Structure 1
Amino acid sequence: MRLVRDRSTSFGRLVRRYRDPVVVQTLRSATAAAIAYVVALRLSPEPAPLTAPLTALLVVQVTLYATLTNGIRRVNAVVAGVLVAIAFSQLVGLTWWSLALLIVASLAVGHLVRVDEYVPEVAISAMLVLGVTTVGDTAWARVVETLIGAVVGLGCNLLLPPPVWLDEAGESIEGLARRVRQLMLRMGEEAAGRPPVEQATQRLYEARRLDHDIVEVDAALRQAEDSLRLNPRVREGLLHRVVLRTGLDTLEICTVVLRVLARTFTDLTKARAPEPPFTPGTGAAVEQLLSEIADSVVSFAVLVTSPVSTSAESAESRLAAGLRQAATTRDKLAQLLLEEVERDARTWHFYGAVLTEVNRIIDEMDTEHRSRRLFEELDRNARDQRERMPRLTRLRESVRDARPLRRVAGQSVDDDG
């Protein structure tokens, strides 16, 4: 049994390693470049048509959507650069001043044809072509090689569909939620004791560093969103994108509020030093409340990233129960803080800030609030799609309306029969 378990674990590691974005990108790029070079050797007059594998290497991306968009922009950039070089070759030769004019003209043309990040590629293509003596033959050969590389790069992603990076994005979101949970637990433990000011300040710095984690999670989520676009293997890709994006937005708001809460704890610790920030009973309530909110944050992340309906329902139940318990503890804490303010009103504004900030986190993760947000985002995306592609939207609606008519017609035929 142990041998079987070890082999299954090794196999799981091997699968995860080959699904790694770096490994997938390397294998796909190398394959596309080799195929493009073989095809270009037969179709291009150049003895070493390296433009084709270079184009395939730059065009092929991890997702099909990125491949399509990058391929179109790169082909436009190279063709524009070749045309500029052909025009310059008819007028001037290659000198220092003509090279400067060529670069200026190429960059200007690149902005006009809207190739985005491939604007320098226009100037690079123009310089490479202008520097060759047989400009005419080399120019058109470069265009052919560029088209070969772009077509091969696109074909590799069509024949070898790239993976959908939902699991990686989900792991990133859950990892962020667990880091938020750990920070909340540490803040709660220190609130129940007598932390030094330096320790409270350290928690504030940790809360600020969560901004960098959000940037990394956002990058993983963007990759997942691109992998869902134009992917024939994915159904309801829009719903997946909206669920993950709104979930990350909620976690980002929670981290911002947590950073404000850490600043409130730091200022409260300074104001009450050398006394503890809370009395023992109130500190215990703060620790309990932050622990319950921390668990709810993880439940929220699991809810957002659960692809199976049964897992999502279980996570939603845990989240709702956790938020109800947190609301009860919050009310208890509010009563304890009111009693402390009646005894000593010097730090009342800090106590009010603590309640306001924990309320905001609880409200952001509320299931009803999340449902409204999802419906709003889905309506907004549908409205934007109708505005961008009105003809395609009308075609889809007509096909959707025709289905029940065909079904009714089929039933009437069966009845007549």
Structure 2
Amino acid sequence: MHDVLKWTAGPTRLLRRHRDPVVVQTLRSAAAATIAYVVALRLSPEPAPLTAPLTALLVVQVTLYATLTNGIRRVNAVVAGVLVAIAFSLLVGLTWWSLALLILAALAVGHLVRVNEYVPEVAISAMLVLGVTTVGNTAWARVVETLIGAGVGLACNVLLPPPVWVDEAGESIEGLARRVRQLLLRMGEEVAERIPVERAAARLHEARRLDHDIVQVDAALRQAEDSLRLNPRVKEGLLHRVVLRTGLDTLEICTVVMRVLARTLTDLAKARDPDPLFPAEAGAAVELLLSEIGDAVVSFAVLVTTDLSRSAESAEARLSAELQAASVTRDKLALLLRDEVERDGRHWQLHGAVLTEVNRIIDELDTEHRSRRLFEELDRVSGEQHAKLPRLARLRERVGVPERLRRNRSGGEGRSS
């Protein structure tokens, strides 16, 4: 058995590396640039048409949506630069002052035609064309090579559809949820004891550092959202994007509330020093409650990253059971803290804050709350699409796309998540 696992480890690692974004981007870019150069050798009048592979190299991206947007912007930038260079060649020619005016005009035109990051490309194209003696031939060759490079880059992603990065985004979301759970477990283990203020403050800093994790997960989710746009391999791409995005939004709210909870526990440690934060029975209830909430956070992440399957149904059932258990423990803790306040009411504000914050997390993870949030986001996105592209929106309504989206969600909130 060990030999079999060792024999399959190599191909498994190779398959994972094949799906790595860096590997995919490198292979696609190299292939597209080479093909573009071969095609340009036959169609361009230039002896070394390097603009074509350069354009393909810049246009090909990991996702089809990014390829389309970058290709259109780069073609617009090159054509605008060529037109500016032709105008200057007819009026003034090339001198030091005309070069300065050319660059200023090209950059201004680049902002006018909204090519975004390709604004410098307008000036570069204009200078390259103006700097040669046969402006007409060079201008034509540069436009042809740019079109070849953009076309090859687009064809590579159409004929060889790029991977959908939903799984990677899902792994990032689940990884964030597990880090939140680990921090909640550490906080729970310490609240029943007498902990130094420094250790409570350290947990607060850990909660604040989760903001960096949120940024990384958001970047992975943005890549997944781009990979779903205009991708022929994906059905209901809008639904996938909304489910993942609202799931990350919920986890972000939970991390913010957890940071506030860590702040409250730090203040409680200062106020009760050198006594424990809670009496023994209340401390045990807090530890159990934070453990149950941590489990629910992970189950929520599994739920929003799982497709239609029995595993999604089990994840939804598990989340509901964990939230129910957490609610019971919260109610028990509320009674214990009420008794403690009746004995000693000096820290009732902090005790009440702890209950408020854990209750907010439980409410955010609730499946009914998530259903409402998901429908609101679907309505908002659909409204934005209708405002931007009314004809396309009417066509989707005729074929019943919004109804299918709603039917999928009503058929099982968590199962699409």
> Could you tell me the TM-score, scaled by structure 2's length?
0.93
Letter in 2 for 1:153: G
- Measured against aligned partners, the alpha-carbon deviations of 1:364-383 in whole angstroms (never above 9, x if no partner) come to 00011111111222222223
- Measured against aligned partners, the alpha-carbon deviations of 1:222-246 in whole angstroms (never above 9, x if no partner) come to 1111111111111111111111011
Q: CA deviation at 1:128?
A: 2.2
Q: Whole-Å Cα distance in 1 between the matches of residues 120 and 269 of structure 2? A: 54
**Residue matched to 1:301:** 301
Letter in 2 for 1:149: G
**Residue matched to 1:221:** 221
Q: Which runs of 5+ in 1 are unaligned?
A: 402-417
- Measured against aligned partners, the alpha-carbon deviations of 1:204-237 in whole angstroms (never above 9, x if no partner) come to 1111111111111111111111111111111111
**Residue matched to 1:76:** 76
Letter in 2 for 1:285: A
- Measured against aligned partners, the alpha-carbon deviations of 1:149-186 in whole angstroms (never above 9, x if no partner) come to 00000000011110011110000000000010111111
**Residue matched to 2:88:** 88
**Residue matched to 2:13:** 13
Q: Whole-Å Cα distance in 2 between the matches of residues 395 and 301 of structure 1? A: 34
**Residue matched to 1:100:** 100
**Residue matched to 1:171:** 171
Matches within 5 A, 1:201-220: 201-220=201-220
User: More displaced, 330-339 or 243-252?
Assistant: 330-339
Q: CA deviation at 1:340?
A: 1.7
Q: Secondary structure at 1:161's aligned position in 2?
A: coil
Q: Whole-Å Cα distance in 1 between the matches of residues 275 and 237 of structure 2? A: 54
User: More displaced, 76-85 or 275-284?
Assistant: 275-284
User: More displaced, 386-395 or 252-261?
Assistant: 386-395
Q: Whole-Å Cα distance in 2 between the matches of residues 37 and 380 of structure 1? A: 45
Between the aligned residues of both structures, percent identity stands at 81
Q: CA deviation at 1:133?
A: 3.0
Q: Whole-Å Cα distance in 2 between the matches of residues 254 and 395 of structure 1? A: 38
- Measured against aligned partners, the alpha-carbon deviations of 1:22-54 in whole angstroms (never above 9, x if no partner) come to 000000000000000111111111111111011
Letter in 2 for 1:111: H
- Judged with a 3 Å threshold, the aligned counterparts in structure 2 of structure 1 residues 275 and 70 are, in CA distance, closer, same or farther, namely same
**Residue matched to 2:48:** 48
**Residue matched to 1:273:** 273
Q: Whole-Å Cα distance in 2 between the matches of residues 213 and 400 of structure 1? A: 38
Q: Secondary structure at 2:194's aligned position in 1?
A: coil
Q: Whole-Å Cα distance in 2 between the matches of residues 344 and 400 of structure 1? A: 62
Q: Whole-Å Cα distance in 2 between the matches of residues 266 and 272 of structure 1? A: 10
Q: Whole-Å Cα distance in 2 between the matches of residues 353 and 399 of structure 1? A: 50
- Measured against aligned partners, the alpha-carbon deviations of 1:239-292 in whole angstroms (never above 9, x if no partner) come to 111110110000000001111111111111111112222222211111111000
Q: Whole-Å Cα distance in 2 between the matches of residues 106 and 254 of structure 1? A: 48
- Judged with a 3 Å threshold, the aligned counterparts in structure 2 of structure 1 residues 333 and 149 are, in CA distance, closer, same or farther, namely same
- Is 1:145 aligned to residue 148 of structure 2? no
Q: Considering only aligned residues, what root-mean-square deviation do their CA atoms show, in Å?
A: 1.5
- Measured against aligned partners, the alpha-carbon deviations of 1:319-369 in whole angstroms (never above 9, x if no partner) come to 000000001111111111112212222211111111111011000000111
Letter in 2 for 1:316: E
Q: Secondary structure at 2:375's aligned position in 1?
A: helix
Q: Whole-Å Cα distance in 1 between the matches of residues 195 and 132 of structure 2? A: 72
Matches within 5 A, 1:5-404: 5-399=5-399
User: More displaced, 389-398 or 243-252?
Assistant: 389-398
- Judged with a 3 Å threshold, the aligned counterparts in structure 2 of structure 1 residues 400 and 293 are, in CA distance, closer, same or farther, namely closer
Letter in 2 for 1:215: V
- Judged with a 3 Å threshold, the aligned counterparts in structure 2 of structure 1 residues 400 and 243 are, in CA distance, closer, same or farther, namely closer
Q: Whole-Å Cα distance in 2 between the matches of residues 312 and 150 of structure 1? A: 41
Q: Whole-Å Cα distance in 2 between the matches of residues 295 and 271 of structure 1? A: 30
> Could you tell me the TM-score, scaled by structure 1's length?
0.93
Q: CA deviation at 1:385?
A: 2.4
Q: Whole-Å Cα distance in 2 between the matches of residues 181 and 398 of structure 1? A: 45
Letter in 1 for 2:150: A
Q: Whole-Å Cα distance in 2 between the matches of residues 132 and 279 of structure 1? A: 85
Q: Secondary structure at 1:345's aligned position in 2?
A: coil
User: More displaced, 103-112 or 3-12?
Assistant: 3-12
Q: Whole-Å Cα distance in 2 between the matches of residues 357 and 127 of structure 1? A: 61
**Residue matched to 1:409:** none
Q: Whole-Å Cα distance in 1 between the matches of residues 313 and 52 of structure 2? A: 50
Q: CA deviation at 1:303?
A: 0.2
**Residue matched to 2:406:** none
- Judged with a 3 Å threshold, the aligned counterparts in structure 2 of structure 1 residues 244 and 398 are, in CA distance, closer, same or farther, namely closer
Q: Whole-Å Cα distance in 1 between the matches of residues 92 and 205 of structure 2? A: 60
Letter in 2 for 1:87: A
Q: Whole-Å Cα distance in 1 between the matches of residues 89 and 207 of structure 2? A: 59
Q: CA deviation at 1:398?
A: 4.1
